[in-house]
Chain A
Amino acid sequence: VTIDNTKRQAIRERIASCIVRALSLNADPGDLLQEGLRLEQFFGFDSLAVLEVVVALEEEFGIEIEPERLELTLLSDLNRLADYVASRQGV
């Protein structure tokens, strides 16, 4: 899915804020926006953190992540996640 860069950036920022809130991270959402950063490092030792992230993202964007897409390759890559959210929202 090809989306407008401005829209993609806006979604990336919303995702970053959402993750910071869901995990109560002591971090600035901007920290998550660095290119090439793997989001899984923010999930830390708590394997259930990923659950909180999934639920928070779904609530934030009003989507449901399809079961077959529930994998770390999607959830730990902000760009991929932004593209996926955009495609689910029909942006």
Chain B
Amino acid sequence: MAIESAAERFPLSFHQESERDRWRKGITRPWLAVKDLIWLVYLFPARWLARLLPAGWMIELVQRLDPVAQLLIRGRKRVLLSRLELGLGSRAAAADIAQRYFRNALVRAGDDLILDRLVSGNGIRCLEFRGRKHLEEALAEGHGAILLTGHFFANRLAKCYLASLGFPPLSVRNSQSREPSSGRLGMRLVRPRYDAFLHSVIRDEVSIQDPECTLKILKRLRENGIVNIHLDVSVSSQFAMTSFLGNAHQLFPTGFLRIARRLKTPILPTLCLGNSRGIQIEIEERFPMTPADGERELYQNNLPGLIARLESQILRHPDQWELWIRI
């Protein structure tokens, strides 16, 4: 998409961190929610079971749980359906995608439980890896590379696979994300355990709450390493807001553009699809950054084009994008 048309499609407004809550307030939480109970089952009995069962059996078991899970998340499904309708503009497609979305979410939850075993046993199957050349060319310039992704279910598997090839990406993660469907007790007691579990799965990561976050990113890029940044979360002290997939107030981070400009680091839009049965990775050519004098101009010239790419990825693979429920 041309810069001009992307800019028209995604007109940006700019905001500071302190303003973020304005768009997120109004969440009233019960003490305990169904999601908290699901998390408890996931973090304890399911995780113990995953250590005992062969990886293939575990995934088979998870898939067999699909009808039960679909029943448990009826409320969430209604939310998802309305978001899908808004985002895709089609009611007919939404139901089928919603079904597949929850199945993919369930399989991803199972994949997380066996990820360490898949990694240690070189068991991640990659069916297709397109654009390795783009990554190698970017790294040859010596300024590191930013893999810019959306929240797709296969990201963790893909990152572990890339690490096994000698391209370990540092993940930038919001370790205190608000979970709208969690209860107050869940946020206080269960969520930290879930975060610790995720940390053990993702491993090579830096939290945006870490005061040294930017320095760790800088360090990795200076070592000609790879940093993975998600475009579809407002994990930045500055962010831009625009209408996106039917949501009038979608927030996008802007800080990574400053980092890329300052360090001359190429940004490579990346798409990861699939699950532990097989993943596909597509690393696009480096994004052609349009030069700019000021920060606003930098964001205005480049962010809409990147958002347009993300939107295209999501619309091509709507059942694999994790954040439908959160937008």
Most chain A CB within a 10 A radius of its CB, from B213, B214, B218 = B214
Cβ–Cβ contact A50 & B255, under 8 A = no
Residues of chain A at interface, number, CB under 8 A:
17
A68 to B16, CA, bound (A): 30
Cβ–Cβ contact A67 & B223, under 8 A = yes
Cβ–Cβ contact B212 & A45, under 8 A = no
Question: Smallest CB–CB gap between B235 and chain A, Å?
Answer: 10
Q: Mark B220-240, 1 if CB is under 8 A from A, else 0.
A: 001100000000000011100
Cβ–Cβ contact B17 & A50, under 8 A = no
Cβ–Cβ contact B259 & A45, under 8 A = no
A25 an interface residue at 8 Å Cβ cutoff?
Answer: no
A54 to B214, CA, bound (A): 11
A67 to B211, CA, bound (A): 17
A70 an interface residue at 8 Å Cβ cutoff?
Answer: yes
Q: Mark A60-80, 1 if CB is under 8 A from B, else 0.
A: 000010011011100100000
A1 an interface residue at 8 Å Cβ cutoff?
Answer: no
A-side contacts of B218, CB under 8 Å: 51, 54, 67, 70
A40 an interface residue at 8 Å Cβ cutoff?
Answer: yes
A-side contacts of B259, CB under 8 Å: 48, 51
A71 to B206, CA, bound (A): 14
Main secondary structure of the interface of B (DSSP, over half): helix
B-side contacts of A54, CB under 8 Å: 215, 218
Docked complex: B28-84 residues within 8 A CB-CB of A? none
A46 an interface residue at 8 Å Cβ cutoff?
Answer: yes
Q: Which residue of B lies closest to A65 (CB)?
A: B222
B-side contacts of A47, CB under 8 Å: 208, 211, 213-214, 236-237, 255
- Our pick among B211, B236, B238 for the contact of A72 (Cβ within 8 Å) is B211
B90 an interface residue at 8 Å Cβ cutoff?
Answer: no
Cβ–Cβ contact B215 & A50, under 8 A = yes
A55 an interface residue at 8 Å Cβ cutoff?
Answer: yes
A82 to B149, CA, bound (A): 39
Q: Which residue of B lies closest to A66 (CB)?
A: B222
Question: Smallest CB–CB gap between B97 and chain A, Å?
Answer: 36
Q: Which residue of B lies closest to A69 (CB)?
A: B219
- Our pick among B16, B222, B223, B255 for the contact of A45 (Cβ within 8 Å) is B16
B25 an interface residue at 8 Å Cβ cutoff?
Answer: no
Most chain A CB within a 10 A radius of its CB, from B215, B216, B222 = B215
A-side contacts of B236, CB under 8 Å: 47-48
B22 an interface residue at 8 Å Cβ cutoff?
Answer: no
A70 to B259, CA, bound (A): 15
Docked complex: B179-232 residues within 8 A CB-CB of A? 208, 211-216, 218-219, 222-223
Given that A47-B237, A48-B237, A50-B214 are known contacts, is A55 also in contact with B17, CB under 8 Å in the complex? no
Q: Mark A27-41, 1 if CB is under 8 A from B, else 0.
A: 000000000000010
On A, residues with C-beta under 8 Å from B are 40, 45-48, 50-52, 54-55, 64, 67-68, 70-72, 75
Q: Can you give 24 contacting A-B residue pairs, CB < 8 Å?
A: A40-B211, A45-B17, A45-B237, A47-B211, A47-B213, A47-B214, A47-B236, A47-B255, A48-B237, A48-B238, A51-B258, A51-B259, A52-B262, A54-B215, A64-B222, A67-B222, A67-B223, A68-B219, A70-B219, A71-B212, A71-B215, A72-B211, A72-B215, A75-B215
Report the 3 A-B pairs with minimum CB-CB distance, sorted nearest first. Answer: A67-B222, A67-B219, A70-B219
